[in-house]
Structures are given as structure tokens and as C-alpha cells.
Amino acid sequence: MQELPAEILFMIFSHFSDLYSDLISCAQVNRVWHAVVIKFYLWHTARFYSFSTFMHFRDVLARIKWNKRQRARNNWRRIVMQSVNGNSKVNIDATRANEMESEDDDSQWTFDGCNPTSFHSTFPYGACVKVLDLSNLQSKNKLTDYMLDSLFESLPNLIELDLYNCYTVTDKLIKRLPSRCSKLRVLNVCGCSNLSRKCIKYISRILYLERLNIGLCPLMWVEKLSIEFDYHWSELVMFELKNSPFAREKDVLNIVIHSPKLKEVVLTMDISGISLAREIKRAAPQVNVVLRR
């Protein structure tokens, strides 16, 4: 069974992917099974409801990062100490190792929900996360830009991000998103009411973005959009703009016209939505406009 390719194991595990107890048991069989289960099932989608569970998830990823640094530092110190032979250069290296130990102490790291002495893994579990859903998270008022930014640093392969109604998120976080999650394809910031028009420019820097929802963001349409970043929407396929009565037709058309792969636009079924739908059909007849309540 250990020699089976990952594709076959993926098909086998898919028959009981809803039973997490069985998946956890399979992950403990050997390293190959562990890698398949962790990558495609247990850590593929991170969906949170309880804020304490979300914080524990963030603390675990932060602890993994700390463990990797700690282990690398310990290995370096061990090599230096074993090489001490009275040579002045080696003594200097040994002194530097002690300095590194004092510089990288535990006081610089805080873990809100994870006991620092109970988790010693260095496996990059965050790299397995492809979907992060915070749409149903409780106590969203406790979220901060720093909290999410430090989390995104541990999620380099994130493809889908749902920040629905995370109204504490600001432009500072969105500005760092393209560098933190360069593989992002789906982004939902509907209801992030603190986002301004600058956030459109930052989002346009996400090169592989295919689906975007920026409804319920009134501050985003206070001023006219700049034309300088229109050409960046090269991969956008679906664009949703519901419940945005302040959105100007010219601004929205700039996004639609400069998105060559755009296939669908979702708008609200009201007077402004119907008027905007007509203008979109005139400017881009190939785009399917959907009106929803």
C-alpha cells in the first residue's frame, strides 16, 4: 500500500472524506498516507466559526515557524560547539551562536492559544491550506490587520479567501495580500466596509485572480477609480458587485472593459443595478450579467 501513487490514494480516501476520525487514523499509518491526507483533506480547507478555534489555528502555524527557527539555531550552535578547538575564529563563531540564542529568545513570540511546550512539529501545515473561509466567524470585531497578515505569511499556497463581513479589515492588509498570497484566485471582501478605493489598486496586483466580490464596500466608490491599473485584470472571470448603490457606471465599466476573460458580472436587482447591466451589455456584449436580489 505504501507504493501506491498519491493519485490512487486520493481516490481511495475520497470515499470517506467526511469521516475525519478515519482520515486521522489513515494519516498515522505512514509518511506517504500522512502527506496525502494532510494535503488534500484535513488541511485543505480551513473554515472557522469560533474565534478561539481560529486563534488556536493561527498560534499553531506561528509555533511551527518558531520551531523551525529554534531547530535551525540549535543545529548551528551544536555544530559550532563541536568544532571548538581553541581556534580564535571558531571561538568567535561560538560567541555569535550565544548571541543568536539571546536575540531569539521566547519573549519575542506570543502564543494565545497554543502551549509552547506541547507542540514541536516543523511540518509546513500552512502550505497545505488552499481555502480560508472566515465568512461565518464569530466575534469579527476582534480581527486585526496584523493578526491576519501574520497568518497569511504561513499560507503561501492559498487559492481562495473569504473575508465576508470582516469589517475591521483595512487597506493595509489588502496592500500586503498580493505578496503574501500570490497564488490567490478567489477573493471575497463583500461587507469589508473600511476598504477604500485604494484597495482596488492593491487587488489588481493579484496576478491570477479569477473571481472577485467587492459588494457592500461604500468607501470604495467615493472617488473615481484611476485608469493606471485597469490593464491588470487579465485573469478575471467573475465579478460580483451587489448592494453597491454608490458605484459609478464609468468606474465599473473600466473594470469590465479591461478584463478580457470576464464572463459573468453579478449585480443587485434594483434601479441602479438594472441601469448598470444595460451599460455593461452595450460595452461588453459577451459578458453575462446576472441580477440577484
- Structure-block grid coordinates of residue 50: 469560533
**Strand 45-47 to 131-133 pairing:** parallel
- Structure-block grid coordinates of residue 21: 476520525
217: left (phi over 0), alpha (psi -120 to 50) or beta: beta
Q: Which of 126, 128, 292 is nearest to 213 (CA)?
A: 292
pLDDT per residue over 67-102, tens digit each?
A: 888 888 888 778 877 777 555 444 445 455 454 444
State residue 168's pLDDT score: 94
- 206 and 259 in a single domain? The answer is yes
- Structure-block grid coordinates of residue 175: 496592500
Q: What is the dihedral of CA 61, 66, 67, 69, to 10 degrees?
A: 130
State residue 195's pLDDT score: 92
Burial of 11 (0-12, 13-18, 19+ CB in 10 A): exposed
Q: Which of 219, 241, 246, 244 is nearest to 290 (CA)?
A: 241
Q: In terms of residue numbers, what domain contains 190?
A: 130-292
- 103 and 243 in a single domain? The answer is no
State residue 122's pLDDT score: 76
State residue 20's pLDDT score: 59
231 found inside a domain: yes
Cell match 482520515: residue? 23
State residue 1's pLDDT score: 56
115 found inside a domain: no
Weakly modelled stretches of the chain, pLDDT under 70: 1-28, 33-34, 36-42, 85-120, 222-232
Q: By three-state DSSP, how is residue 256 classified?
A: helix
- 190 and 151 in a single domain? The answer is yes
135 found inside a domain: yes
The total number of structural domains in the chain stands at 3
